[in-house]
């Protein structure tokens, strides 16, 4: 049972300006060539990452060359763009640093919008509550950076419960936490096991489906106290609902949406009430509304006066066109189409979509072979 994210997105939009202002002021220096001009860019670009600019850690489709065309020869940014990805698992600052190294351009944290980025606006609700973060990478570190003060990764949380994963002994990849060997861990175990989990956040793709589904079912059906009697379900949030995505393997890989389907199917068989959850990420149109806000804030950084940047509103600049470049028709293209004007969808053939013609179910405004071809089209259309 999906729950609406409208209220959360409204909060996201109202607070995003304050959080972005310091980064945008520094970014304004990167727009030095444009800031002296009276005319600001009338367009912006949102790039998906996996299957568009990268496969794993390898640049694809001429992405290095394409992105460099968005900068001045001096390295100063001349075209506002962001990465709008359902992926995640790492802090935006860390992801920006990694992307900068892989793609050979300077990318700031405010240019990276991940599936779990909206979670930061829930910290007022769960700031001091006990929560569990699930997924690859550093899910607990991500949530801690967003302001959550009482968070454990599901890896660490599960380690406090003897026998909660009956298959642990057969998993060769299982890494025993060093903390479990010391006295502090043993002293904390009773406290952790008796502390009610108020919410679970699926930050990124689960690494161990069998354990994570088992532990999440234990949390969700007992009111946040594994091993106890049935109770009211804690809150559950997913960073995205992608059924599949393109990785380095030739065919698509199952994503967080597949994990959600598995969890929901099992939970609904063992609990009297259906699973309640809130999904974020593309193709939700509200994600594209937030992306437009972020791009507007980037354009506002063209102002040489920092006071203008700090006090400008989202209505102070209007885009003629916003380009969404993606590889997944049911995620990137569907989302851009649902968001409507000023979004213009461009579908590449380097990821999930590999068809010769357009997608029949979610046709894009333009289909190209690579992201380099997409950027070439945009710059030519915008007379840049």
Q: Which residue has the higher pLDDT, 203 or 177?
A: 203
pTM higher than the cut 0.75: yes
Indicate whether 303 pLDDT > 60.
no
Residue 299 pLDDT level (bands cut at 50, 70, 90): confident
> Which residues partner with 158 through β-bridges?
none
Indicate whether 312 pLDDT > 70.
no
Please give the structure tokens belonging to residue 206. Answer: 């689960």
Could you read off the pLDDT of 318-373 as tens digits, one per residue? 899 999 999 999 999 999 999 999 999 999 999 999 999 999 999 999 999 999 99
Cα dihedral across residues 132, 135, 139, 142: positive or negative: negative
Q: Do 112 and 83 form a contact (C-beta atoms < 8 A)? A: yes
Distance from C-alpha of 154 to C-alpha of 150, rounded to nearest angstrom:
13
pLDDT value of position 37: 43
Average pLDDT, the chain: 88
Q: Do 364 and 84 form a contact (C-beta atoms < 8 A)? A: no
Q: Do 307 and 327 form a contact (C-beta atoms < 8 A)? A: no
Residue 40 pLDDT level (bands cut at 50, 70, 90): confident
> Closest by alpha carbon to 323, among 46, 70, 80, 41?
46
Could you read off the pLDDT of 104-144 as tens digits, one per residue? 999 999 999 999 999 998 999 999 999 999 999 999 999 99
Could you read off the pLDDT of 236-283 as tens digits, one per residue? 999 999 999 999 999 999 999 999 999 999 999 999 999 999 999 999
Q: Give Cα 361 distance to the centre of its chain.
A: 24
Q: Do 206 and 200 form a contact (C-beta atoms < 8 A)? A: no
| Average pLDDT for 281-310 | 79
pLDDT value of position 190: 85
Could you read off the pLDDT of 181-201 as tens digits, one per residue? 555 666 788 889 999 999 999
């Amino acid at each position: 049972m999906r729950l609406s994210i409208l209220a959360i997105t409204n909060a996201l939009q109202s607070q995003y300006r304050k959080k972005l202002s310091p980064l945008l002021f520094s970014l304004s220096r990167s727009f030095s060539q444009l800031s002296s001009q009276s005319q600001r860019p009338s367009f912006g670009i949102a790039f998906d990452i996996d299957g568009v600019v990268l496969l794993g850690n390898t640049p694809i489709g001429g992405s290095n060359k394409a992105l460099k065309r968005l900068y001045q020869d001096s390295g100063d940014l001349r075209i506002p763009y962001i990465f709008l990805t359902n992926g995640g698992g790492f802090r935006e600052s860390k992801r920006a640093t990694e992307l900068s190294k892989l793609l050979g351009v300077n990318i700031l944290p405010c240019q990276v919008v991940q599936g779990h980025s909206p979670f930061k606006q829930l910290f007022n609700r769960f700031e001091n509550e006990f929560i569990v973060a699930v997924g690859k990478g550093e899910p607990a570190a991500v949530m801690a950076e967003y302001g959550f003060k009482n968070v454990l990764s599901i890896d660490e949380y599960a380690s406090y419960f003897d026998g909660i994963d009956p298959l642990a002994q057969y998993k060769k990849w299982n890494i025993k936490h060093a903390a479990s060997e010391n006295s502090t861990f043993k002293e904390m175990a009773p406290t952790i096991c008796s502390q009610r989990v108020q919410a679970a956040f699926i930050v990124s793709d689960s690494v161990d489906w069998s354990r994570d589904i088992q532990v999440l079912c234990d949390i969700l059906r007992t009111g946040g106290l594994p091993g106890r009697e049935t109770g009211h379900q804690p809150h559950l949030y997913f960073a995205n609902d992608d059924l599949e995505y393109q990785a380095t393997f030739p065919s698509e890989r199952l994503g967080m949406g597949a994990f959600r389907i598995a969890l929901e199917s099992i939970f609904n068989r063992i609990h009297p009430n259906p699973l309640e959850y809130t999904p974020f990420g593309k193709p939700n149109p509200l994600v594209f509304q937030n992306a437009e806000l972020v791009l507007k804030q980037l354009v506002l950084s063209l102002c040489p006066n920092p006071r203008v940047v700090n006090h400008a509103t989202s209505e102070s600049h209007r885009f003629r066109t916003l380009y969404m470049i993606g590889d997944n028709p049911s995620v990137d293209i569907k989302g851009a189409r649902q968001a409507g004007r000023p979004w213009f969808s461009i579908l590449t053939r380097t990821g999930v979509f590999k068809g010769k013609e357009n997608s029949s179910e979610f046709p894009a405004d333009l289909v190209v072979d690579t992201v380099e071809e997409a950027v070439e089209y945009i710059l030519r259309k915008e007379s840049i």
